[in-house]
Amino acid sequence: MFDFIVLGAGISGLAIATKIKQKHPEASILILEKEKSLGMHGSGRNSGVMHSGIYYPENSLKAKVCSSGSKAMVEYCLDRGLPVNRLGKVIVPTNEKDDGTIDLLYKRAKSNGVTVAILDAQELADVEPFARSASGRALFSPDTAIVNPKLILEQLYHDLVGQGVQFEFESPCISVVVGKSEIQTKNTRYTYGHLINATGQFADQLAHIFDVGRRYVLLPFRGSYYKLSEHSGIQLQRLVYPVPDLNVPFLGVHSVNSIGGISYFGPNAVPAFGREHYKGLKGASFKEGLSIGYYLLEQYIRDQQGFRRFSHNEAGRLMKSNFVQAVQKLVPSVKAEYLLPSNKVGIRAQLLDTETHQLVMDFLVERREKSTHVLNAVSPAFTSSFSFAEYVIEKMDY
């Protein structure tokens, strides 16, 4: 019998366990992870960008936890001696009609307590000489930072083990007896006082076992990146992002700098035909692919949230020439030969509301007696994880 069982050892599960231990030091906690090691999926494949909280409407959950979560994560890294680079980010319109969104994002950032500035063309050239703005203006977020996600996961794991939290790897959930608060893995049966479902790419399936969140299904989108050649002569000082289409929960092709100094451009966002469909046919599922295809076709026909235009844009970027054009709208000096294939790829576990037929834009947590389900922990979930975990714990019924 454990006071708490957490399903999933990604950033959400580890952060929630951390905050439970802070609030209830004597509580017994077990974390079950289906993989043999940490960081094999969403959390370990994260870009490492600590978003500052610019994009999110004032009353959204993302707005409430992103800025504070980013500060908490950066502080955690500094306290543990983990690498942090506060390089900042510029957001540029790639066409003149997007210039007005700069002012909207500025207002959102200010209401969310984020430090930002609007730059003119000369100021942009001083801050990031390689970036281009179609209108001459840009939004600058000086506090945006980058970290190493896998090092953070490993540090949290060691912290939790030191506090007596138990981990079981290669222990997927096989079945649940909700009325008896029992969970069966392939090796062991456990009972719990409260269960937290933080399984990311499988959160909806597990929630449905508990009769929670049945109106929601997960649509996986695969995002791939190109690596910027070290011989390009381009050394980006900041992250460079386009002004996003705020109707869809994707930020568009942008630059990402790793802690190791490598620059990438991406991601695209194409449907994956499996929750772990990273490359080729591995991870693809015929049955699941049919279900995903059905919902995508329905979204395309209904064309809510600009889904049809979004689909056309992303389909076009499967061709490298179109991908290069998207990059050149941000950094004109990038040439096709500067962009090299990379193994950097991830799955965005995007939730769809089958009743409203809309992609869920905010974080989503649902509860029932003795269980809590983190259903939509997409970007900026890694950034927000500590503050988001506090929110989850406050809402738990135990």
How high is the pLDDT of residue 397? 62
Of 100, 117, 69, 101, nearest to 238 (Cα)? 117
Q: Are residues 132 and 252 in the same domain?
A: no
Q: Are residues 129 and 202 in the same domain?
A: no
| The overall pTM is greater than 0.85 | yes
Q: Are residues 201 and 346 in the same domain?
A: no
What tokens does 102 get? Answer: 């700069």
CA–CA separation, 4 and 16 (whole Å): 10
Q: Which domain holds residue 134?
A: 89-142
DSSP state of 243: P
Q: Are residues 280 and 348 in the same domain?
A: yes
- 127, 142, 157: which is the final residue of a domain? 142
Q: Are residues 105 and 120 in the same domain?
A: yes
User: pLDDT digit string (tens) for 343-363?
Assistant: 999 999 999 999 999 999 999
What tokens does 20 get? Answer: 């439970």
Q: Are 308 and 300 in contact (CB under 8 A)?
A: yes
How high is the pLDDT of residue 398? 63
Q: Are residues 277 and 385 in the same domain?
A: no
Q: Are residues 54 and 201 in the same domain?
A: yes
Q: Are residues 170 and 108 in the same domain?
A: no
Query: For the domain that residue 179 is a member of, what is the CATH number?
Result: 3.50.50.60
Q: Are residues 249 and 294 in the same domain?
A: yes
- 100, 123, 142: which is the final residue of a domain? 142
Q: Are residues 61 and 127 in the same domain?
A: no
Q: Are strands 84-85 and 89-92 parallel, antiparallel or unpaired?
A: unpaired
Number of domains in the chain: 3
Q: Are residues 39 and 181 in the same domain?
A: yes
How high is the pLDDT of residue 361? 95
Query: For the domain that residue 259 is a member of, what is the CATH number?
Result: 3.30.9
Query: What string of pLDDT tens digits covers the 398 residues of the chain?
Result: 999 999 999 999 999 999 999 999 999 999 999 999 999 999 999 999 999 999 999 999 999 999 999 999 999 999 999 999 999 999 999 999 999 999 999 999 999 999 999 999 999 999 999 999 999 999 999 999 999 999 999 999 999 999 999 999 999 999 999 999 999 998 899 999 999 999 999 999 999 999 999 999 999 999 999 999 999 999 999 999 999 988 888 899 999 999 989 999 999 999 999 999 999 999 999 999 999 999 999 999 999 999 999 999 999 999 999 999 999 999 999 999 999 999 999 999 999 999 999 999 999 999 998 999 999 999 999 999 999 999 999 988 66
Q: Are 95 and 330 in contact (CB under 8 A)?
A: no
Q: How many residues does the chain have?
A: 398
Q: Are residues 132 and 164 in the same domain?
A: no
